[in-house]
Amino acid sequence: MKAHEIAANLKRSRRKWGRVKLFNRHTGAFCALGIKAAESNVKPKTMEWFQEDCLRRYSYWGGLYELTLMNDSSSTKEELISDLEKHPKEKFNVEGFIRFLLDAQKKCLPQKAQHEG
């Protein structure tokens, strides 16, 4: 996705925006990636599973590390939208990341990890 598409998605979303986590169970907030993942039917449990595994890094999916830095350094959703709109053509591999999460969800990896832990 391009930065301007992520900004437009954030503007449309009615989900609570947050920082640091894809999904924060305590606040019910999603980061920019978490919002898109939730819209693509990734379950909160799958997002939490990803967050708990410290070996997984956003850098595997082109530009997502930079996107998470933008998200987490913003103090409001509007500030993040403004930052994304300053670089409208910048690409982030959101689609690949979501495919990874959906594949993990399909394979029940989050549930298997829960039973192992």
**Which phi and psi (to 5°) does residue 91 adopt?**
-105, 145
In angstroms, what CA-CA distances link 3 with 38, 80, 104, 113? 18, 10, 26, 33
pLDDT tens profile 8-58: 999 999 999 999 999 999 999 999 999 999 999 999 999 988 887 644 567
Task: Please check whether residue 37 is in contact with residue 98, taking contact to mean a CB–CB distance below 8 angstroms.
Answer: yes
Residue 108 is predicted with a pLDDT of: 82
pLDDT top residue among 107 and 17? 17
Q: Considering the chain, what percentage of its residues have pLDDT values greater than 90?
A: 73
Residue 31 is predicted with a pLDDT of: 96
